Structure 1
Amino acid sequence: AIIEVGGSQQFVSEGRFYECHSLKGVEPGSKIAFERVLGTHDGNAPNWGHPYVKGARVEATVLENFDAKKVIVFKYRPKKHYRKKNGHRQSMTRFLVTKVVKA
């Protein structure tokens, strides 16, 4: 199934874990359901939604909330003695897909 989560789209399948931008208000061990399913596949033909597939959902369990690796932003202007270094760690959520309910 293809779901919309955390501002992006992800291809997910049962029994695998995935990472997305931090989901607010979820604790590790809690169950969540993604209702925004863009498409599913039953083995024969894909089922695309307009924009979402009605009645389809993806059920998952939250494994952990964590910070991703640090991203360093470095700006400089050559020969001008201007240097600026900044760092950022994105908050992420890791979840395990337990069930894909097709419409």
Structure 2
Amino acid sequence: MYAIVCTGGKQYRVTEGEVITVERIPGEVGDAVELKDILLVKGEEDLRIGAPTVEGALIQGQIVRQDRGKKIIVFKHKRRKGYRKKQGHRQDLTWLRIQKIEMGGNEVPSSALSEEEHGRLLMLDIISAQANPSLTPSEEEHAGGE
């Protein structure tokens, strides 16, 4: 089982027992953490895709370490103008051990669609893209009302 979770503005693919490095999460070493911004959960048999997040899904973890990342150098300059600026930056980081991934039981898994229905939906997407190639899928929804 794995999940894709969003924390600190970044997305991570996590499995149970894995240790991941994320941007700083408030708390002390040993504290329990719950991540609720889950975009996708893949179980043994089913796949749940959120729109935008999976309702009821939850990832439980524990803070293993709070530290700072490696120093990076930010160097800005403008040629022929004598302008140079050098700065260093160290990001605050948290190491999380993923203990449990819960799927949430209220949703219909995407595998509930038959292959025929999946194919029909895919063909509709392809046909609509060919009919108006200049529009992205999100623009197609808005273009119909005009």
- Is the shorter-chain TM-score for this pair beyond 0.5, marking a shared fold? yes
Percent identity between the aligned chains? 32
| Aligned-pair CA distance for 1:6 | 1.3
Consecutive unaligned residues in structure 2, runs of 5 or more: 105-146
Matches of 2:97 and 2:77, distance apart in 1: 41
Which residues of 2 match residues 31-46 of structure 1 at below 5 A?
A: 31-46=32-47
Give TM-score, length-normalised by structure 2. 0.65
Q: In the alignment, which residue of structure 1 is the partner of 2:52?
A: 51
Matches of 1:53 and 1:17, distance apart in 2: 22
Report which of the two has the higher share of helix: 2
1:10 aligns with 2:9: no
Matches of 2:43 and 2:81, distance apart in 1: 60
Aligned pairs, how many? Answer: 102
Question: Where does structure 1 differ by over 6 angstroms across 4 or more consecutive aligned residues?
Answer: none
> RMSD of the TM alignment (CA)?
1.3
Matches of 1:75 and 1:4, distance apart in 2: 31
Report which of the two has the higher share of strand: 1
Consecutive unaligned residues in structure 1, runs of 5 or more: none
Is the radius of gyration larger for structure 1 or structure 2? Answer: 2
